[in-house]
Copies of this chain bind each other. A is one copy, B any other.
């Protein structure tokens, strides 16, 4: 975890302070990025929301893009942490998958502005940072893939392992759909309903 933040250089020596301030910075930036997008948000505005001078802001990062990375990284970690916390063992594999989907979709819903941001601005990162974020996303996908594979082994799910990979990705994408197709999903369905329908469809398609 410190690992990813350490990717961004800082002038400040007090590491704890760096962490605190960066969290503040992330909060300030997320708010603005969600409102106006990365490109249309100026560093000056971020500094103001951050509550410090521009100079001070630049003591915690090197470039504007660093801020985006910090934000994306933070969002992913939020999702990962919450999802992993919720993955307490369930008896039944099918139930486990249902539970994971439910938790994941709920998390997405609770931070849907962030989700949107993540998928729309990732492309503004440089290659290295983008790859890092993508690798995080793949870790998440792997969680679903693993559960499905377990079900395959137990003969609960009647698909092959290659299909499992696709299903896992479908789950990810259908979760994100809740936020980036909100104009159709959220207009027509309650979250609970949406989760039930999507989960049934998925389980149905692999059983």
Contact status A201-B197, CB under 8 Å? no
Contacts of A188 in B (CB 8 A): 162, 165
Contacts of A11 in B (CB 8 A): 44
Q: Which of B123, B173, B204, B205 contacts A177 (CB 8 A)?
A: B173
A170 interface residue per 8 A CB criterion: yes
Contact status B169-A184, CB under 8 Å? yes
A72 interface residue per 8 A CB criterion: no
Contact status A189-B174, CB under 8 Å? no
Chain A 33-65 interface 0/1 with B at a Cβ cutoff of 8 Å (1 = within): 000010100001000000000000000000000
Please report the C-alpha to C-alpha distance between residue A20 and residue B204 in the assembled complex, in whole angstroms: 50
Contact status B201-A163, CB under 8 Å? yes
A9 interface residue per 8 A CB criterion: no
Nearest Cβ in chain B — how far from A184, in angstroms? 6
A108 interface residue per 8 A CB criterion: no
A67 interface residue per 8 A CB criterion: no
Contact status B197-A162, CB under 8 Å? yes
- For A, the interface residue count at a CB cutoff of 8 angstroms equals 34
Contact status B201-A167, CB under 8 Å? yes
With known contacts A134-B183, A206-B201, A189–B162 Cβ distance under 8 A: yes
A181 interface residue per 8 A CB criterion: yes
Chain A 1-21 interface 0/1 with B at a Cβ cutoff of 8 Å (1 = within): 000000000010000000000
Contact status A166-B37, CB under 8 Å? no
Contacts of A44 in B (CB 8 A): 11
Contact status B197-A169, CB under 8 Å? no
With known contacts A201-B205, A205-B201, A166–B183 Cβ distance under 8 A: no
- Of the listed residues A134, A162, A165, A201, the one surrounded by the most CB atoms of chain B closer than 10 A to its CB is A201
Q: Which residues on A are within 8 Å of B, measured CB to CB?
A: 11, 37, 39, 44, 120, 123-124, 134, 138, 141, 162-163, 165-167, 169-170, 173-174, 177, 181, 183-185, 188-189, 194, 197-198, 201-202, 204-206
What are some 28 contacts across the A-B interface (CB < 8 A)?
Answer: A37-B123, A37-B124, A39-B39, A39-B124, A120-B123, A138-B184, A162-B188, A162-B189, A163-B197, A163-B201, A165-B188, A166-B185, A166-B189, A166-B197, A166-B201, A167-B201, A169-B181, A169-B185, A170-B174, A170-B177, A170-B198, A173-B177, A173-B181, A201-B205, A201-B206, A202-B205, A204-B204, A205-B205
